[in-house]
Structure 1
Amino acid sequence: MSNDKQIRYREFQKQGAIREEWIANPDSAVPCPASKSEFSFKNADDSYWEINNYEIGLPDAFEQSDMEALKIREQVYQRVNADMYSDEGEEAIAFSGRAGKKVLFIEDITKGSETGPWISEVCMAAYQMHFPLFTLRHIFIANLNEKETKEFATERLKLEMDPKAFKSGTPEFQQILGTRIGKAVAYIVLNSFDRGTRKISKISMWLTGGQSRSIQSRFDLELVSGNH
Structure 2
Amino acid sequence: MADNYPLWEKKGRSLQKWIEKSRASDCPYPISTFTLTPKHRDYIVDRTSVHLDASLLTALNLSNANSTYRQVSITLRDNSPPVWWIGRTGPGVIFIDDVFSSKRSDDPYISEFTKAAYKMDFPLDSLRNVFVPNVNEVNTLSCLRKVYKSQGLHYPSSTEQTWEPSLSEFNALLGTGIGKIVAAFVLCAWGQGRKRIARIVTFHIDADVHKLYMRFDLEDM
Do Structure 1 and Structure 2 share a fold, with TM-score over 0.5?
yes
The match for 2:89 is 99
| Cα pair 2:38 2:46 within 8 Å, conserved | no
| 2:114 pairs with 1:123 | yes
Pick one of 167, 170, 189 that aligns with 1:170: 167
- Deviation track 1:133-185 (CA, whole Å, cap 9, x = no partner) reads 11111000010111110122123224411110001121000000011111000
The number of residues matched between the two structures is 213
For structure 1, the 5+ residue unaligned runs are 1-5
Pick one of 28, 33, 39 that aligns with 1:33: 28
Post-superposition shift, 1:42?
A: 3.1
The match for 2:16 is 20
CA distance in 2, matches of 1:61, 1:95: 25
CA distance in 1, matches of 2:95, 2:201: 14
The alignment's TM-score, normalised by the length of structure 1, stands at 0.85
- Deviation track 1:19-71 (CA, whole Å, cap 9, x = no partner) reads 00000112115x1000111111139851x311100111227982246344xx5
The match for 1:3 is none
The match for 1:135 is 126
Task: Label 1:76 to 1:67 Cα distance change in 2 as closer, same or farther (>3 A).
Answer: farther
CA distance in 2, matches of 1:11, 1:44: 42
CA distance in 2, matches of 1:9, 1:56: 39
Post-superposition shift, 1:11?
A: 3.5
Task: Label 1:211 to 1:176 Cα distance change in 2 as closer, same or farther (>3 A).
Answer: closer
| 2:90 pairs with 1:80 | no
The match for 1:111 is 101
Task: Label 1:72 to 1:45 Cα distance change in 2 as closer, same or farther (>3 A).
Answer: closer
The match for 2:49 is 55
Task: Label 1:185 to 1:90 Cα distance change in 2 as closer, same or farther (>3 A).
Answer: same
Post-superposition shift, 1:210?
A: 5.9
Task: Label 1:61 to 1:111 Cα distance change in 2 as closer, same or farther (>3 A).
Answer: farther
CA distance in 2, matches of 1:93, 1:135: 27
Pick one of 192, 195, 199 that aligns with 2:192: 195
The alignment's TM-score, normalised by the length of structure 2, stands at 0.87
CA distance in 2, matches of 1:90, 1:181: 24
CA distance in 1, matches of 2:166, 2:39: 37
Post-superposition shift, 1:9?
A: 2.0
CA distance in 2, matches of 1:110, 1:83: 10
For structure 2, the 5+ residue unaligned runs are none
| Cα pair 1:85 1:93 within 8 Å, conserved | no
Task: Label 1:190 to 1:211 Cα distance change in 2 as closer, same or farther (>3 A).
Answer: closer
| Cα pair 2:57 2:65 within 8 Å, conserved | no
The match for 1:182 is 179
The match for 1:219 is 216
The match for 2:37 is 42
